[in-house]
């Protein structure tokens, strides 16, 4: 039999365990809407699309298992638009990510100087990013319109007899989309994250560098950039994923044309799934894209150990 003394000693432990279980249940209860939504609307469709990736499915007929045929079709050249769209998407990312990161960092540096009217400038920089992507694409389609667009009107007033066709020219369509996207991206969330990172740099480091005789450029190179590397790394990962997922601007502004010059990977996936109704093959395209994005993110994480500085690790 258990003595009364032993019961008194174990009673607090049992009470504490019951309290922890109640807290755990409460936590799971509050998290259950998100968990349920994730299982129903994210995890469930992902598992279903993984199954469809190994089938031939067009909504009308039941899925027919075809093994790895969909993946072989994409990789081995059975789809003539797969490799061009993938190459075009990576080209877009290689150009856009450095430009957007650099532009956002420069804008954040400008807004971090404490100049007069900084609040107005922050609002002015941020407003374009609030424009919905569809509205932005429609606006810039009018600006780029060859005959009566605002840009060519200005060029004609300056004496340009035959201004470019912009989005209607397959050589200029991609650069035109880049300018359009940068207009809305530079002053957006990336700039705000850089601004928060800049304001987190200890002022003591700047004062110490200034005492040592470091100029403005030397302080930026030896203090600001090293302390900002975690923020740069975060924006780099998010920027790469976002650039590879580009879809709306090309879909609305050019429809992938002219002559497939702006036919990006996600646009090709959309066309395959919802226009051609090849849902099995489109699921395979989606999983190829998923593997590529996860692979690139993993490479970025591994390479970040060489150049990202974390203050806690430096202090230890």
Both 48 and 74 in one domain: the answer is no
Both 186 and 296 in one domain: the answer is yes
28 pLDDT band, cuts 50/70/90, is confident
DSSP state of 66: -
**Per-residue pLDDT tens over the stretch 96-145:** 999 999 999 999 998 888 778 788 888 888 888 888 889 999 999 999 99
Total domain count, the chain: 2
Both 33 and 88 in one domain: the answer is no
In a domain, 235, yes or no: yes
Higher local confidence (pLDDT), 7 or 64: 64
What pLDDT, on a 0 to 100 scale, did the predictor assign at position 231? 94
Both 271 and 238 in one domain: the answer is yes
315 pLDDT band, cuts 50/70/90, is very low
What pLDDT, on a 0 to 100 scale, did the predictor assign at position 137? 92
Is the pLDDT score of 46 beyond 80? Answer: yes
- SS3 sequence, 130-154? HCCHHHHHHHHHHHHCCCCCHHHHH
Both 260 and 135 in one domain: the answer is yes
Q: Averaged over 47-66, what is the pLDDT?
A: 94
Both 150 and 38 in one domain: the answer is no
pTM strictly above 0.75: yes
Q: Averaged over 86-92, what is the pLDDT?
A: 96
**Per-residue pLDDT tens over the stretch 241-270:** 999 999 999 999 999 999 999 999 999 999
In a domain, 273, yes or no: yes
111's tokens: 């807004």
In a domain, 61, yes or no: no
Listed residue (279, 295, 307, 240) closest to 57, CA to CA = 279
Is the pLDDT score of 202 beyond 50? Answer: yes
In a domain, 289, yes or no: yes
Query: Do residues 243 and 96 make contact, with C-beta atoms less than 8 angstroms apart?
Result: yes
In a domain, 16, yes or no: yes
Both 114 and 231 in one domain: the answer is yes
Higher local confidence (pLDDT), 143 or 12: 143
In a domain, 181, yes or no: yes
In a domain, 63, yes or no: no
188 pLDDT band, cuts 50/70/90, is confident
Higher local confidence (pLDDT), 169 or 316: 169
What pLDDT, on a 0 to 100 scale, did the predictor assign at position 254? 94
In a domain, 184, yes or no: yes
Distance CA 221, CA 147 (A): 47
Helix (H) or strand (E) holding 129: helix 118-130
**Which residue's entry shows tokens 């996936």?**
269
Range of the domain at 34: 4-52
Both 243 and 120 in one domain: the answer is yes
Both 141 and 169 in one domain: the answer is yes
16's tokens: 């504490």
- Percent of the chain residues topping a pLDDT of 90: 64
Higher local confidence (pLDDT), 60 or 269: 269
Close Cβ partners of 126 (under 8 Å, ≥ 6 residues apart) = 187, 188, 191, 192
Both 137 and 89 in one domain: the answer is yes
Is the pLDDT score of 5 beyond 70? Answer: no
């Amino acid at each position: 039999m258990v003595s009364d003394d032993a019961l008194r000693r174990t009673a607090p432990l049992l009470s504490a365990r019951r309290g922890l279980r109640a807290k755990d249940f409460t936590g799971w209860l509050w998290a259950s809407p998100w968990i349920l939504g994730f299982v129903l609307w994210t995890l469930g469709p992902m598992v279903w699309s993984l199954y469809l990736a190994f089938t031939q499915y067009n909504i009308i007929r039941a899925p027919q298992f075809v093994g790895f045929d969909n993946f072989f079709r994409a990789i081995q050249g059975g789809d003539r638009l797969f490799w061009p769209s993938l190459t075009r998407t990576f080209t877009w990312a290689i150009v856009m990510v450095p430009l957007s990161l650099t532009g956002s960092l420069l804008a954040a540096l400008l807004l971090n100087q404490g100049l007069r009217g900084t609040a107005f400038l922050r609002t002015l920089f941020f407003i374009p990013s609030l424009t919905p992507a569809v509205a932005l694409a429609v606006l810039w389609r009018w600006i780029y319109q060859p005959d009566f667009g605002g840009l060519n009107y200005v060029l004609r007033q300056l004496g340009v007899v035959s201004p470019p066709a912009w989005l209607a020219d397959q050589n200029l369509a991609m650069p035109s989309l880049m300018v359009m996207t940068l207009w809305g991206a530079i002053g957006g969330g990336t700039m705000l994250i850089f601004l928060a990172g800049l304001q987190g740099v200890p002022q003591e480091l700047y004062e110490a560098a200034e005492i040592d005789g470091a100029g403005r450029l030397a302080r930026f190179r030896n203090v600001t950039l090293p302390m900002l590397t975690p923020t740069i790394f975060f924006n780099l990962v998010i920027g790469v994923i976002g650039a590879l997922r580009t879809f709306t601007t090309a879909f609305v502004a050019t429809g992938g044309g002219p002559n497939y010059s702006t036919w990006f990977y996600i646009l090709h996936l959309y066309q395959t799934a919802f226009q051609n109704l090849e849902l099995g093959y489109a699921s395979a395209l989606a999983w190829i894209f998923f593997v590529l994005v996860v692979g690139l993110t993993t490479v970025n994480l591994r390479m970040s150990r060489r150049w990202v500085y974390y203050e806690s690790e430096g202090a230890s």
